[in-house]
Amino acid sequence: MKKYFFLFLGLSLFVSCSNDDNGIDPGQTPQPEPNPDNVDIDAQHFMWQAMNLWYFWQGDVPDLADDRFSSNAEYTAFLVENTDAENFYYSICNRHEEIYGSETAIDRFSFAYEDYHDLVNSLSGVSKSNGLEFNLMYQYNTGNEIFGYVLYKVPNSNASDKDIVRGEIFTRVDGVQLTDSNYLNLLFGSNDTYTLGMAHIENGGFVDDDKEVTLTKVENQIEDPILVAKTLDVNGTKVAYLMYNRFLSSFNDQLNEAFADFKAEGATELVLDMRYNPGGNVNTSRLLASMVYGTKTEEVYIRQRWNDKIQEQFTELFGPGYLEDNFASSVGENPLNSLNLSRVFVLATGDSASASELVMNGLDPYVDVIHIGGTTRGKNEFSITLVDNPDLGFPFYYYSGEKEEVESGINPNNSWGLQPLVGRNENANGFYDYTSGLAPDIVLSEDLTNLGVLGNPNEPLLARALQEITGVSAKIDLTVEMAAESFTSSRFQTPLKDNMYLDKPLPAIN
């Protein structure tokens, strides 16, 4: 195994030892002792050690303080207090203050997953899914009753050949009315197969239809994040349109090929549609931003800010430049295809999060980013995947390039995977404070009465962008009759959720 810098960090912060009753020596972390009831605390021990080292708000959580425990016995008693591993994890997250937009902001996005295999698969776009993507919204004047509306179908999925299309509405699952208290179980529970009861809007209300659609979740469903990539000829202007729904590194080559096609077709403008994109891989966001702006590797795309312990070690060992990610000139071994634009039209909504927002913020110092739609979700922190393998040179950090080494050392008694927030991204101008979301330049909600066809010039959000590009009024009425105001999305009910994660090797030292 390569010697990574965390071998050094481990010596100073992560020494494992057997302490006596005189207490825990400075620079050493507490270790569990046998407990009278033989409670299994492997998961809790892993969670505490991993979070004590990596967590962005480690210094703000009293129970994660380096001097929290005076002895191993006290530490063991603390772990035993909460035998539910999931509850324990969230108890040591920074969720004690509901303050947004400040240094003590509540952590809304860290999470734990009982089987790290499912978590890691989701980071590659592999999941158990029926392929129907939808949003959920409250019915008007009905208390807690809700309905779903279809966003799109994943190609080559169970839903792809079913009689259900974008814009259709459903109110029931297996004959049961959807409410805010049962939707998680009915739509995202253990039932792999369910039947949707369809409905339509009439006089501002919902009327149930006889139509039903049965869907089945299948294992290892893979979604290509590029749903639509085409070049439109609009009044003589070649406009590239990209509907991009996840930042997945496994599809970087396909993304680069899409931009090669845009270039070959003479595109001089770009509409980047990320209205349903909840985020993903940080490096993929850097590649996409470079495909928009240019292969200017001397210019900063983003800077990372870690917790005080990690930040100090990175800076001391590698200098501040290590914390900067510049624009890219290649995708793997292939040259990166860029449109070299001075402006880009971004379609983004409240379903646009993390890496989507990162592209917008990272481009902002260099490119005129015209944001059409609604205010984005507001997630400027990044995460990493942690598993219980402290023998790695980088404690607990799961990097896919080291998969065999990671899995060979996993604690067989603990399969939990963690996805904690470990840092914050800022752009070249130092701006990062968008926890309340990025506000649009041109406000336009999606209309439930006319969601349109994605990629069609008459789809309302795209039509508004084309109007801005050409200066010619849209051919359709852009008045919104019934605004789509969802409270959650099927995209946010997966292990990946709205996560922005690092997936890169840490630098080696001699």
Greatest Cα pair distance in the chain: 80
Across residues 377-381, what is the average pLDDT?
90
The identity of residue 95, as a single letter, is R
pLDDT tens per residue across span 232-271:
999 999 999 999 999 999 999 999 999 999 999 999 999 9
* Residue that is written with structure tokens 């996840």 in the block: 246
How far is the C-alpha of 297 from the C-alpha of 497, rounded, in Å?
Answer: 31
Q: Where are the domains of the chain?
A: 1-107+385-419, 128-221, 223-380+423-482
Secondary structure letter of residue 256 according to DSSP? H
Q: Are 119 and 113 in contact (CB under 8 A)?
A: yes
pLDDT tens per residue across span 280-304:
999 999 999 999 999 999 999 999 9
pLDDT tens per residue across span 8-33:
444 344 444 444 455 777 668 899 99
Using DSSP bridges, classify how beta strands 368-373 and 269-273 pair: parallel, antiparallel or unpaired.
unpaired
CA dihedral 296, 298, 302, 304 (to 10 degrees): 150
How far is the C-alpha of 102 from the C-alpha of 210, rounded, in Å?
Answer: 50
Q: How far apart are the first and last CA of the chain?
A: 12
How far is the C-alpha of 142 from the C-alpha of 145, rounded, in Å?
Answer: 6
How far is the C-alpha of 249 from the C-alpha of 283, rounded, in Å?
Answer: 8
pLDDT tens per residue across span 28-77:
889 999 888 888 999 999 999 999 999 999 999 999 999 999 999 999 99
The CATH superfamily assigned to 223-380+423-482 is 2-enoyl-CoA Hydratase; Chain A, domain 1 (3.90.226.10)
Domain 128-221 class in CATH:
mainly beta
Q: Are 130 and 218 in contact (CB under 8 A)?
A: yes
Using pLDDT thresholds of 50, 70 and 90, give the confidence band for residue 371.
very high
How far is the C-alpha of 321 from the C-alpha of 137, rounded, in Å?
Answer: 45
Average pLDDT, the chain: 88
* This prediction's pTM: 0.89
Phi then psi for residue 238, to 5 deg, are: -85, 115
Which contiguous run of DSSP H or E holds residue 369? strand 368-373
Q: Are 134 and 148 in contact (CB under 8 A)?
A: yes
